Structure 1
Amino acid sequence: MLFPLGILGVASLGLAGWSAYVGRKAEEMVPPDGQFAEVPGARLHYVDTGPRDAPAIVMVHGLMGQLRNFSHSLSEWLAADHRVILVDRPGWGHSSIAGPRPGIGTQAAMIAALIEQLELDKPLLVGHSLGGAVALALALDRPELVRGLALIAPLSQPVSTVPKVFAGLLAPQPLRPAIAWLIAVPAGTMSGAKVAQAVFAPDPVPADFATRGGGALSLRPKSYMAGSFEIRIAAAEMAALAARYASFRVPVAILYGREDQVLDPQLNGEKTAAEIPGATLELIAGGHMLPITHADETEAWLRRVLADDAQATGGALTDTV
């Protein structure tokens, strides 16, 4: 009896050691790009680019992502004439948390604290995928802080069935650490290419996504635990958010790829646009990772959103439309 237990213990230590090694290597491949801000409950890693006196844009990434999802192909061009702030969500990328793991609403409060700390004047808040849910929560709770929302393939409704590509994150809380350290990282090193293909489909995965796009950071135990937590709490938090959509006080624009194979454009795009007063929806060809795979179209759409908002408010938000 003791011998099999000993073998199991040695194997577990070996797998945990391998997971730690892979996590360190991922952080070497994708080191911090910016600076850090202390907000209640978190230490947020963010990149602040573009002219400081230009209109501000804050960009919030999605599940299993980090801020390089935006800097890979999109943010550089926006930063030519806007102040662009990219944020690693609490517990993701190089941002850390203190205390209980934050849900969508609590993460929104942390991003709001960063906006206040940086003294941003009503930025356009951009959210991709689950980052769209965080943006929606922030605008509902603190509408005075933002000019409007630009949501790219957002999670905006309660989803009854977890996307197949993320089904492996459905670990019960008591098993989550063991799976994160003993199974998730070794399995991820073998299946990572297929998972990326499923997330990007039908668009191709860029060859440099692991580094320039920050994809390598998903291969860490902490990323699995954060992703598993968020998948588990998303349906309940999204139901509470969706119930408040009729009370929206800021403009909301939504962009979706018609061929998105992660989130349903009809549910999370059309239904949400119909429920939020004045919201708009634009559909383009493409899958879920539009900021990377369709950066030109995404930038053009963002500039139209900025121009429409400038016209509505009577202010000049951008010189390029």
Structure 2
Amino acid sequence: MIGAALAVAALAGCGVVIDRRADLHEAAAEARYPPTGDLIEVQGRIVHAHTEGTGPDLVLLHGASGNTRDFTFSFVDRLSRDFRVTVFDRPGLGWTERAADGYGPWTPRAESPAEQATLLQAASDRLGLRNPLVLGHSYGGAVALAWALARPEDTAGLIVVAGASHPWPGGLGPIYRIIGSGWGGALLAPLIAAWSPYGRLNAALHEIFAPDPVPPGYARHIGAGLTLRRDSFRANARQVNTLRPHLVGMSARYPTLPMPVEIVHGTADEVVPIGVHSEPLARQIPGAVLTRLEGIGHMPHHAAPDAVEAAIHRAAARARLR
């Protein structure tokens, strides 16, 4: 009996140490990577929006594990001369709060692409964005598609870059399944936040960019420590872990999209394969234009930014924003 009590006390002590260490790491990450834009309140939630430039409105939505810094690294600079560019942190990531209550450590719930789009559309309304072009990369492609499905009448055009658009065969990696569970999110996320495996993060970046190189300075700019915060790590894993069934329902509605759609995808993308996602997407949407980037991986806006920028300008011209 005494032994059991000592074991419980030891585990509780370990938990306190882990939480304190995680607190320190999260505070350091937030101090090093503060918001670069405005924190606005919509629907009782804080949304982070980074805006630059003038011209027709263009919204950028980042992928899994990301934040606005993926686009502000260099891509926004290419666009702000011709567009008013607004980059949002998606719910639970960066500096944007979860879209609703009830997303606790032990609750394996996640915002659907539609729920994320609804919150970010409310934020865009609050900022006075009008009839925007909407670009989504990777998981952000699913949110961009949900945005267009929800508000086709005031979405000028859609640009899907290496976007997750369709249900895929097989499963996800073990980290998504574990963190996606209640016990995994509650127990493993604090350990990861406390001991922040930055060496592994650099390896993960190389895997995400492959076969293209990671741009010099990108790892320092992106603020990976923000993603490793307990709440953000859980939110990201659970959003990815629950994405597939949402895409089943969404994909049946893609032929109804009336706006100009530009799709850009690398043929060497092994994270979100072009044959599973963008090729069927292009076949489903009337008038959609698919740009195949031979030999390019999952990050075309860094590896082939001219092609992505050209797709944005084509969408703007087709939508008669020029």
Name the counterpart of 2:272: 263
> Counterparts of 2:168 and 2:193 in 1: how far apart (Å)?
23
1:70-100: CA deviation from partner (whole Å, max 9, x where unpaired): 1111111200121000100111101113414
Question: Aligned partner of 1:209: which letter?
Answer: Y
Structure 2 contact 196–225 (Cα < 8 Å) conserved:
no
Name the counterpart of 1:59: 60
Gap regions ≥5 residues in structure 1: 317-321
Shift of 1:9: 2.6
Shift of 1:271: 0.8
Name the counterpart of 1:131: 140
Name the counterpart of 1:169: 176
Shift of 1:305: 2.9
> Counterparts of 1:114 and 1:93 in 2: how far apart (Å)?
15
Which stretch of structure 1 is more off in the superposition, 195-204 or 263-272?
195-204
Aligned length: 308
Secondary structure of the residue that 2:59 maps to in structure 1? strand
Gap regions ≥5 residues in structure 2: 104-110
- Over aligned residues, Cα RMSD in angstroms? 1.9
Question: Aligned partner of 1:208: which letter?
Answer: G
Pairs within 5 Å for 1:5-44: 5-40=8-43, 42-44=45-47
Name the counterpart of 2:205: 196
TM-score (norm 1): 0.89
Secondary structure of the residue that 2:222 maps to in structure 1? coil
Structure 1 contact 74–296 (Cα < 8 Å) conserved:
no
> Counterparts of 1:44 and 1:14 in 2: how far apart (Å)?
31
Structure 1 contact 210–216 (Cα < 8 Å) conserved:
no
1:284-308: CA deviation from partner (whole Å, max 9, x where unpaired): 1321122233323322332233233
2:284 is the counterpart of 1:275? yes
Pairs within 5 Å for 1:213-232: 213-232=222-241
TM-score (norm 2): 0.89
2:105 is the counterpart of 1:112? no
Name the counterpart of 1:90: 91
Identity of aligned residues (%): 32
> Counterparts of 1:286 and 1:19 in 2: how far apart (Å)?
37
> Counterparts of 2:57 and 2:28 in 1: how far apart (Å)?
34
> Counterparts of 1:155 and 1:229 in 2: how far apart (Å)?
15
Name the counterpart of 1:294: 304
Name the counterpart of 1:319: none
> Counterparts of 2:256 and 2:311 in 1: how far apart (Å)?
25
1:25-46: CA deviation from partner (whole Å, max 9, x where unpaired): 2222211001022222521100
Shift of 1:235: 0.8
Distance 1:183 1:85, change over 3 A: closer
Structure 2 contact 192–228 (Cα < 8 Å) conserved:
no
Structure 1 contact 73–291 (Cα < 8 Å) conserved:
no
Structure 2 contact 189–233 (Cα < 8 Å) conserved:
yes
Secondary structure of the residue that 1:80 maps to in structure 2? coil
2:7 is the counterpart of 1:4? yes
Structure 1 contact 42–90 (Cα < 8 Å) conserved:
no
Structure 1 contact 115–145 (Cα < 8 Å) conserved:
no
